[in-house]
Amino acid sequence: MLIIGIAGGTGCGKTTVVNQIINELPDGEVGVISQDSYYKDLSHLSLSDRRMTNFDHPQSIDFELLEEHLKLLKAGKSIQQPVYSFLECNRTDKSIPISPSKVLIVEGILILTSAQIRKMLDIKIFVHADSDERLIRRLKRDVNERGWNLDETLDKYQTNIKPMHLQFIEPSKEYADIIIPNNKYNTVAVDMVRTIINEKLD
């Protein structure tokens, strides 16, 4: 199994790049795992306390479970991936079965910050977009899809998102084998990654 890690700051376009990569590949050959599914269980907190959590700090992620799942998939075993609710700011009681595949993409802002996870990655990719571009994309998404208003999103950006980006995410770029500039849609880079994957699938 070839495991590709895709990191980059919030709103840089990781999900978009992953979808572009897998779009023209055969169904079922490439699995995708999102770091978001591995946010720690916060059921012991009220919703208002959960909404105060710093979701951009590496400690918010259950990297142990993610590592265990990657090892199981690599060993040819299926896993039950937790399903996360952004509106509830918590894991749901649901999970989805993920079967092993020839290629697995693991995406998330903090994927390259974990030494255990880095060890499991065959190719490490960092998607870059300028911070103003990312903030604009993030504002639109949080307000339209994730149940936050404009002020809340800007407060989060100043208190958690920007400091964590500078402390953990941007420095993890140094571990990347490939950096994809994504201020504009980057079809050339997407085609290159797809070519690497196709070689593995042949």
Ligand X SMILES: Nc1ccn([C@@H]2O[C@H](COP(=O)(O)O)[C@@H](O)[C@H]2O)c(=O)n1
Ligand Y SMILES: Nc1ncnc2c1ncn2[C@@H]1O[C@H](COP(=O)(O)OP(=O)(O)O)[C@@H](O)[C@H]1O
Site string for ligand Y, 5-44 (x = CB under 6 A): ---x-xxxxxxx----------------------------
Residues 125-154 that bind ligand Y (CB under 6 A): 137, 141
Cβ proximity of 30 and 197 under 8 Å: yes
Q: How far is CA 59 from the centre of its chain?
A: 15
Residues 139-198 that bind ligand X (CB under 6 A): 146, 161
Q: Which stretch binds ligand X (CB under 6 A): 7-15, 68-76, 97-105, 173-181?
A: 7-15
Helix ranges (H only) for 53-186 are 63-74, 115-120, 131-145, 150-156, 162-164
Binding residues for ligand Y, total number by CB under 6 A: 13
Cα dihedral sign, 84-87-93-95: negative
Dihedral angle of Cα 135, 158, 51, 70, to the nearest 10 degrees: 60
Cα dihedral sign, 144-127-94-156: negative
Of 16, 6, 37, the C-alpha closest to 117 is: 6
Q: How far is CA 195 from the centre of its chain?
A: 22
Q: Which stretch binds ligand Y (CB under 6 A): 4-12, 57-65, 112-120, 164-172?
A: 4-12
Residues 41-70 that bind ligand X (CB under 6 A): 55-56
Site string for ligand Y, 169-198 (x = CB under 6 A): -------------x-xx-------------
Q: Which stretch binds ligand X (CB under 6 A): 10-18, 94-102, 116-124, 180-188?
A: 10-18
Task: Give me the residues that bind ligand Y (CB under 6 A), please.
Answer: 8, 10-16, 137, 141, 182, 184-185
Task: Give me the residues that bind ligand X (CB under 6 A), please.
Answer: 10-11, 14, 36, 39, 55-56, 86, 89, 109, 146, 161
